[in-house]
Amino acid sequence: MFNKRLRELRVQHKCTQQYMADLLGVTLNAYQKYEQAERTPSFAALIQLADFFNVSTDFLLGRDDYLKAQGNMDCSDGEV
């Protein structure tokens, strides 16, 4: 569930996998493995993702379907 929600949020926000990898301070390959469910992020990275996408960690992990209200932010709005 985490990998699907992560990919959906990234695409919704028009972010590239490279952008997300840079944001988290991991390699592109490591980030891609998050989306392929071959690797899990650290707790710190999970919190960073939740903060970036303005969702709860429970939402990312599939424990909650509640999606916080989202603004119009996307990756083209700023730098890493």
Please state, in angstroms and rounded to a whole number, the distance separating the CA atoms of residues 53 and 39.
Answer: 20
Over the stretch 3-14, which tens digit does the pLDDT of each residue have?
999 999 999 999
Which of 50, 56, 53 is closest to 11 using CA atoms? 53
Task: Give the Å distances, CA to CA, from 75 to 19, 40, 42, 69.
Answer: 8, 22, 22, 17
Which of 10, 7, 75 is closest to 36 using CA atoms? 7
Over the stretch 36-78, which tens digit does the pLDDT of each residue have?
999 999 999 999 999 999 999 999 998 877 655 454 456 666 5
pTM over 0.75: yes
Q: DSSP code of 72?
A: S
